[in-house]
Amino acid sequence: MKQQLTLLLLGITFFSFAQTDSNWKKSAFTFTPEILLGLTMEANDGFPDTELQKQLIFNFGRHHINNPQQWAQRLKNPKTGISIGITDFGNLDSLGFALTAMPFIEFKAFKSEKWSVLTGMGASYFTKKFDAATNPQNQAVTTDITWAFRMYLYYQFLSNKNLDWRLGLGYSHHSNGHTRLLNQGYNSFLVSLSAAIKNPLKHPEIVSEGNLPVYKNTVYNYVAVRGGLGQNVFALAFNDKRNVYTIAGEYGRVYNNTFKIGLGFYYRFYQHYYDYINGNESLVQAGREFDYFRSDPWYYATNLGISLHGEIFLNHVGIDLQLGYNLHKPAYKLEWRINEGWDNTPREISQTWVLGELDGSYKRKHRISSRLGLKYYLIGMEKAPKNNFYLGAHLNANLGQADFTELSFGYVYSFNHRERN
């Protein structure tokens, strides 16, 4: 159910990218076929041999050079849209195809008309996945649907009346957000050749900077609260999804109705941690390393942290990034012990089993969290509403390693606006 809701939110996000309040958009549409070749990185020991990875992507987008909305002008006329693609990872028998749908945004880079950066986040459907009996070597994904992410740098090397030819270089990733193990994920590095087909329609009335609104610089403070419902799995021996409950708040500033930065806190409760402790499983039994967890299962199943939050508003849509520092997440040590030692740790763990070492990698992932996703606001941020609500879909991670997938509902209260120099 959570995957379907996430896909619905991504769909709403795309259609909101398409919303504008003027007819300039009719001539802003672009269609860009793209061919990509590259390498599928090995996801695990014994990963199937692969040939060259091949992708075909159709990008349906819109230039915002004549968009009168403030966010489009503040972001220097980006391009937004959706990408629909198919990927051959280089081994059809074991890896199959991936079908991807991904909203994207593309910015100019290096203050140049020829260079640009594209980033996108969406979902992929896989025709092949891990199966212990029929496909044991492919440990990249174990679910039909995964998150998908891409980031590419493009250079426009040739332009004429009808086409803009571009070369690109970038990174693509697929992961199920830790909703089922195994979940090593696909990581790929590719080169791209694409041709943007220009819209032959005449330009609308708004055709120059002189006809576009001039916006004053503004700033205002805000407070926000949200509740989240996430899902993840714990280990191979506990490979059923359990909920992660979140309550969070933040305080910060919004600049020019487009950029937001804030400081906050988060509280999370992991059902998997609680069930493991409350169920008196192996590592919390009397005399084992974490037997003291049983003195208060709720306390040891919780996570407290502080966060730095950044967001870019595209009117109704927010592109959201959060970095956090965990002040309290004791059960992550338990999770690391189970998952980072010998492979296929059983439910009943003997005293002789080699567990994960609490090394530098553990210490970094234990402390640093991240959160990346999209929000859809009920009222467009272009209007700078005093009260607003949003839905969000996010991937939460421990320093880049997926932790849980989350849907959230939030409320934002904005204080008085003022102009700034």
Q: Which residues pair with 370 in a beta bridge?
A: 323, 397
Measure the CA–CA gap between 200 and 350, rounded to whole angstroms. 70
Backbone φ and ψ of 365, nearest 5°: -70, -30
368 burial type by CB count under 10 A (0-12 exposed, 13-18 middle, 19+ buried): middle
Contacts of 45 (CB under 8 A, 6+ apart): none
Q: What is the pLDDT of residue 7?
A: 52
Cα–Cα distances in angstroms (integers) from residue 386 to residues 103, 217, 264, 377, 418, in the given order: 28, 18, 20, 13, 13
Is the whole-model pTM more than 0.85? yes
Q: What is the pLDDT of residue 399?
A: 86
Q: What is the pLDDT of residue 77?
A: 84
pLDDT in tens, 347-401: 999 999 999 999 999 999 999 999 999 999 999 998 889 999 999 999 999 987 8
| 295: three-class secondary structure by DSSP | helix
Domains 2-210 and 218-419 share a fold: yes
CATH architecture of 218-419: Beta Barrel (2.40)
Beta carbons of 69 and 20 less than 8 angstroms apart: yes
Q: Which helix (H) or strand (E) holds 6?
A: helix 2-17
pLDDT band with cut points at 50, 70 and 90 for residue 2: very low
pLDDT in tens, 219-248: 999 999 999 999 999 998 998 999 999 999
Percent of the chain with pLDDT over 90: 68
Q: What is the pLDDT of residue 210?
A: 57
Measure the CA–CA gap between 243 and 253, rounded to whole angstroms. 32
Cα–Cα distances in angstroms (integers) from residue 121 to residues 86, 171, 330, 374, 387, in the given order: 15, 12, 31, 8, 27
| 94: three-class secondary structure by DSSP | coil
Percent of the chain with pLDDT over 70: 89
Closest CA to 96 of 40, 46, 45: 40
Q: Which residues pair with 148 in a beta bridge?
A: 122, 174
Question: Is the domain covering 2-210 a CATH 2.40.50.140 domain?
Answer: no
Q: Which two tokens stand for residue 390?
A: 């949003």
Measure the CA–CA gap between 107 and 201, rounded to whole angstroms. 23
Domain residue extents for the chain: 2-210, 218-419
Which is more confident, 177 or 359?
Answer: 359
Q: What is the pLDDT of residue 209?
A: 52
